[in-house]
Amino acid sequence: MGSATKLAFSVFLISCSSGAILGRSETQKCVHYNYSPSSSSSVAGVEGRGNVSGVMTCSGEKDKRLHCFATWKNVSGAVQVVKQGCWLDDVNCYDRNECVEKKDAPEVFFCCCEGSLCNDKFYYSPDSSQPPPTTNKPVTSPPPVLTTLMYSLVPIMAVTAIILFSFWMYRHHKLAYPPVLVPTQDPGPLPPSPILGQKPLQLLEIKARGRFGCVWKAQLLSEYVAVKIFPIQDKQSWQNEFEIYNLNGMRHENLLQFIGAERRGSNMDMELWLITAFHEKGSLTDYLKANVLSWSELCLIAQSMSRGLAYLHEDIPGHKDGHKPAIAHRDFKSKNVLLKSNLTACIADFGLALRFEAGKSPGDTHGQVGTRRYMAPEVLEGAINFQRDAFLRIDMYALGLVLWELASRCKAADGPVDEYMLPFEEEVGQHPSLEDIQEVVVHKKLRPLLRECWQKHAGLALLCETIEECWDHEAEARLSAGCVEERVVQMQRQTSVTAPEEIVTVVTMVTNVDYPPKESSL
């Protein structure tokens, strides 16, 4: 009888605890504080702190629990608050009424809790093993009626507990990685970015998968970031992209902002992370699939994209950060162009990029790399001149194809807008072989179709000429990225002063327009 009672009571506790785990927290508000080095230091005792910035209301997905958190440092025996605010659904914070750090002597203290304003006070209390409390009270046998009731409820409670526990396990493992502090491990020869420090980083959802791994949307304190995760087999691509991002002068509004890099795990289970800015609109490919463009939107994307590529290609000896070398992307395509919230473009994915520094080897100059449908004719033929300008011209061929993608989804022309298609998709389908592309691009010298109706729009007519000069079969005849940027500016000026009834006149006179000169030497 006694063992049956204990079993029933254990199942009851499991059921209750599972229900507590699944229950929604009533957390609504948290103390918000953000340390700024330029302001006076915020120093307080272990049980609180001064200089509160305010109280913030937390919000999140319906099925997520909300918590509060606090991070602080011990500076010469005094507590310096780093950050306080809201924290997403984290099993380590469940049912904690107080904000307590239990790790033994961490470099940065971190705690989280549930309850309105529960992070107003925070504590440091290292774990200490204490024996469980004992009792000398005698155990009395339950009456027969209670025993019978317990026997009846045990199967029901056991099934309920198993279901609840299984559901909790499912929710708990929805994210492939738990919340962590960045960085948690020594990145080896590559120093971690000082921007990251020891800030909490939490992976949220996978946004894209590619040849070299997957890209996660993640939360770094109160900001969203992108985390690109490489398997150990693609270490060379991760290493190269890290080194490109860390070159002098690589901070530019039209290049993806780099935040940090690190290694996770060990041996064959190691993962290589790159942390960058996150842009909700995603890649240009994805945006064009779901949206058509106005003429002004096309010009904005084309101008900012060509400006970013021109800056990447440029050698700048007198840059304020030091000598910025010329860089060839080598995998330029619409999938590697990201759109910011204002539709300006920034270039991403430098895993195959080459840098050209005086007196140094540019690295692996294997010619036939990149995405097949965007490969220039000389790449497909294996006839590359392994000089800097030759690699920059390969990027310009791909830029011409991306400009065609923009034109194909623009509603400015007097004609229907087709469904989005990749370059050469009409000719070779979605998954062409290298031989298919070689046949179309090299032997037949075909290019994606420039619609007849585009020629009836003053701006698109100029864009078509620019596209044709970018994807010219002769590499030396192609425009430079800087020249393309100037052309787009000229298109905007041309169309901004053109009334609808004047369009035909402008098109007939387009050959008399003075274009920016081609830059044959790039």
Output the pLDDT for position 95.
86
Of the candidates 274, 275, 276, 196, which has an alpha carbon nearest to the alpha carbon of residue 239?
274
- Please report which residue ranges of 246-381 form alpha helices under DSSP H: 284-290, 295-313, 377-381
What is the full DSSP assignment across 68-135? EEEEEEEETTEEEEEEEEEE---GGGTT--SEEE-SSS-SSEEEEE-STTGGGSEEE------PPP--
- Based on the residue annotation, tell me whether 331 is a catalytic residue of this protein: yes
Output the pLDDT for position 9.
52
Q: How far apart (Å, rounded) are the C-alpha atoms in residues 463 and 55?
A: 52
Q: Are strands 78-87 and 67-75 parallel, antiparallel or unpaired?
A: antiparallel
Output the pLDDT for position 90.
84
Output the pLDDT for position 330.
93
Output the pLDDT for position 270.
84
Output the pLDDT for position 22.
41
Q: How far apart (Å, rounded) are the C-alpha atoms in residues 312 and 232?
A: 28
Q: What contacts 1, CB < 8 A, 6 or more positions away?
A: 141, 142, 147
How many C-beta neighbours within 10 Å does residue 271 have?
16
Partner residues linked to 338 by β-bridges: 283, 346
Handedness of CA 222, 224, 225, 227 (dihedral sign): positive
Catalytic one among 331, 349, 395, 472?
Answer: 331
Q: What predicted TM-score, i.e. pTM, was given to this entire model?
A: 0.62
Output the pLDDT for position 264.
82
Q: How far apart (Å, rounded) are the C-alpha atoms in residues 337 and 333?
A: 7
Tens place of pLDDT per residue across the chain (522 aa)? 455 455 445 544 444 444 444 444 454 789 988 877 655 444 443 444 445 578 888 887 777 888 899 998 888 888 888 899 988 888 888 888 899 998 887 888 999 998 888 988 998 888 765 444 444 444 455 566 667 777 778 888 888 899 988 877 766 554 444 444 344 333 444 444 444 545 678 889 999 887 777 899 999 888 999 999 998 888 888 999 999 999 999 999 999 999 998 888 777 778 899 999 999 999 999 999 999 999 999 999 999 999 999 999 999 998 888 899 999 999 999 999 999 999 999 999 998 999 998 767 666 556 567 899 999 999 998 877 778 899 999 999 999 999 999 999 999 988 889 899 999 999 999 999 999 999 999 999 999 999 999 999 999 999 999 999 999 999 999 999 999 999 999 998 887 765 444 443 333 334 444 445 554 434
Give me the domains of the chain, ranges plus CATH numbers: 29-34+53-126 (2.10.60.10), 281-497 (1.10.510.10)
Q: Are strands 326-328 and 337-339 parallel, antiparallel or unpaired?
A: unpaired
User: Which contiguous run of DSSP H or E holds residue 506?
Assistant: helix 503-508
Q: How far apart (Å, rounded) are the C-alpha atoms in residues 336 and 284?
A: 8
Output the pLDDT for position 18.
42
Q: How far apart (Å, rounded) are the C-alpha atoms in residues 121 and 379?
A: 63
